[in-house]
Structure 1
Amino acid sequence: MTKLILSTSNIMSGGSSAVRHDMTSRSNAELTSSLRMNFKAAQEDAAYAHMQTQPQTNGHSDDVSHTPSFRDWTSHHAAKAVLYVPTLDFTASALQEEREQYDITLKLFYLPGIPVARRASQTREALDFVLQELHVPSIDLLIVSFPGIYFDEESEGCPDKIQSRGPIEADPEPLETQIKTWQELEKLKDEGLVGRLGVSEFGAERLQPFLERTRIKPSVDQINLRDCCSVPRPLLTLAKKEKIDLLVHNDSTNILPRGTLRELLGPGENGAGVLANDGDMAGDKRKKNREDGEAVDSEGMKGDVEPQWVIKYTAVVKNRGVVENKGYFAAAELKA
């Protein structure tokens, strides 16, 4: 089994025009497009590096048609059985000003079908990647998204939203499971790694018993009001009483479905070529390439890929309200 770590780098930097033109896009679309852009940039860098090593004729490389293998722009940590897609480089990713000048918010998406027992290690792993990326010792707010939780399921104020959101990706988790996960998050606050904790898509009927059984209360509840005109009064009353900030978001609960991930990493026009086609079609393509005399490396990794978690991070300059750094990390497992 190989773990895959996917990263977007800073999507607010100059090379991310594909996502900057629409800052209101849903997170799943933003994640997909920014990952694809970062993969493409890494491939172009690898192709350029290859060109620089080739013989020059009149100042130009003789090889201008080289298509890099995924091995040229990813890195493999054999001891940990981890493939970084693309290669991670934290040397130039630090924030421009001092840490106290920023509000840093993370949102961690626990994905459907992943055992709850993995969440403690996955949470720390995801947090650690962001701390390294931003070169900071802690973050201000960590919001968690549980699979199958939709704000409208408990709100009579949004009668039409169930039909509008599309198929349900997962059944809602029992409260007991969420409490156990939350206890692991409380440890992060105790250690000073996280300033505040928050939840996503909790209506009043879910939030009330949750508050009664947690040692550290969530200070934020993110809700999706895309198809609603106002926050239901029971939730407003509870949030005011418990001093919980209600924030509006436009995130997708199942932010990285398995099919989307395979398309991103697979062969073809929209894929990165990291994975082979289902049914080892890549092997047939390699054979055809050899027969045609083409020097194209179409080999991809074989196996079933399963998304594990996604984390979104945002660093806002406090005194200007400007988003300086924003991006995503995602983890997946490839099982042969």
Structure 2
Amino acid sequence: MSGGPSVIRKLTSDKSNVELLNALRSNFVAAQQIEPSHTNGAPHDTHAVPQRLSYSDYTTWTSKQDDTLYVPAIDFSVPGLTEDRDQYDITVKLFYLPGIPTSRRCAHTREAIDLVLKELRVDSIDLLIVSFPGISFDADDEGEEELLDGEGEGNDGETAPDMDSIVQTWRTLELLQEKGMISQLGLAEFDSERLAKFLPQTKIRPSVDQINVKDCCVVPKSLILYAKQEGIELLTHNDCTDILPPGTTRDLLSRGEKGAGILAATATADDGGLKGDIEPQWVVKYTAVVKDRGVIENKGYFALAEVGSYIRPVD
């Protein structure tokens, strides 16, 4: 699935999950519009109101390649950027989602990056930040080590991954950087204790640690000092840790009031939609900023969800 306008002239203060859901819904509705000349027989009436396609016609605004359904269909032939590649800073944030085995992250990472490269029509990105499920930064917990010696509960109740699985995933990112696809790597939500355990196990160190300081702007002094010592830039964000839950994904794609009319209302409903349980796999957010103007020229999302035997990318 894909979502988001191709050109954005100002930053948004929306949480990432709100922005993502709004972008997806907007993209779905836009893709279901048909030209006025196709609806009323008046090819020159440019003021006629476009009509929305019926649920049974979703195949006309999506596309399928092998076992992948693109919602909506994506035209990768359209230029993603207007100026030369060296005029942009391209940042990508990849959200690994809960319940997905570490063994799948290698393929997921390459899949997500490849979609962004195709969308922007470039061969590399400047910064990739990865967000692991179950890990969220809390300034009040800085200095604690409860998640360092194995699995534990994250701040939002999700099971945090153990350090071995994080390092295993990082190996994939290091390979992509060595191939020239990524210039810099970054992490999200790592406090100083977690960084201290992680850094010695890396070949390519993260350049960035992106943290959510919630409603305050106070970054713990211990993290500031440690990041400076290790040459890591601290960035803040307002992203949601649970960016695309299964229930939300089904609502987006189902034949409900605000759905896209692709999935059955429930996994077993016989209403003409595709049946099966839905499992979001990953979400990736990309931003291309024009360096000399500080303008966001291109911003959007891709997401992947699996439904039964179908795998669905979402942009």
What TM-score, normalized by structure 1, do the two folds share? 0.82
Q: Is the 8 A contact 1:154 1:203 kept in 2?
A: no
Unaligned runs of 5+ in 2: 145-153, 310-315
How far apart in 1 are the matches of 2:220 and 2:139?
12
Alignment check: 8 A CA contact 2:62 2:73 kept: yes
2:99 aligns with 113
Aligned residue runs from structure 1 range 117-132, under 5 A: 117-132=103-118
- 8 Å CA contact retained: 1:28, 1:255: yes
**In the alignment, which of 300, 306, 310 is matched to residue 333 of structure 1?**
306
Find out whether 1:321 has 2:310 as its counterpart: no
Structure 1 residues 167 and 219, CA, compared in 2 at 3 Å: closer, same or farther?
A: closer
Pairing partner for 1:204 from 173, 188, 192? 192
CA distance in structure 2 between the partners assigned to 1:120 and 1:328 by the alignment: 19
1:240 to 225, 228, 231: 228
Q: Is this contact kept in 2: 1:106–1:141, CA < 8 A? A: yes
Q: Which residue of 2 aligns with 1:290?
A: none
Q: CA deviation at 1:53?
A: 5.0
User: Which structure has greater helix proportion?
Assistant: 1
1:164-184 Cα offsets, whole Å, 9 max, x none, are xx9725111111110000011
Matches within 5 A, 1:265-280: 265-278=253-266, 280=268
**Cα displacement (A) at 1:8:** 1.0
3-state SS of the aligned residue for 1:44?
coil
- Considering only aligned residues, what root-mean-square deviation do their CA atoms show, in Å? 2.6
Match of 1:72 in 2: 60
Residues 305/169 of structure 1: CA separation in 2 closer, same or farther (3 Å cut): farther
CA spacing shift, 1:142–1:280, aligned 2, 3 Å: same
2:238 match: secondary structure: coil
**Structure index of larger Rg:** 1
* Counterpart selection for 2:18 from 3, 21, 29: 29
Percent same amino acid at aligned positions?
A: 51
1:82-93 map, 5 Å: 82-93=68-79
User: Cα deviation per residue 1:67-108 (whole Å; 9 max; x = unaligned)?
Assistant: 36211111112xx21100000111224201000000000000
Superposed CA deviations along residues 109-161 of structure 1, whole A, max 9, x for unmatched, are 00000011010111000000000000101000000000000111773499xxx
Would you say the 8 A contact 1:304–1:334 is kept in 2? yes
Q: Is the 8 A contact 2:128 2:185 kept in 1?
A: yes
Deviates more, 1:305-314 or 1:66-75: 66-75
Matching residue within 13, 19, 41 for 1:56? 41
SS at match of 1:278: coil
- 1:9 Cα deviation (Å)? 4.7
Maintained 8 Å contact 1:75/1:86: yes
Separation in 2 of the partners of 1:57 and 1:247? 53
1:308 aligns with 2:294: no
Of the structure 1 ranges 146-155 and 321-330, higher mean CA displacement relative to structure 2 is found in 146-155
Distance 1:58 1:26, change over 3 A: closer
Q: State the aligned residue count.
A: 296
Letter in 1 for 2:108: Q
* Residue 313 of structure 2: aligned partner: none
Checking the alignment, whether the CA contact within 8 Å between 2:135 and 2:155 is kept in structure 1 is no
Residue 8 of structure 1 corresponds to which residue in structure 2?
3
8 A Cα contact 1:169 1:254, kept in partner: no
**Structure 2: which amino acid aligns with 1:108?**
L
Q: What is the CA deviation profile of residues 277-320 of structure 1, one whole-angstrom value per residue up to 9, with x for unaligned ones? A: 2165443xxxxxxxxxxxxxxx2111111100000000000000
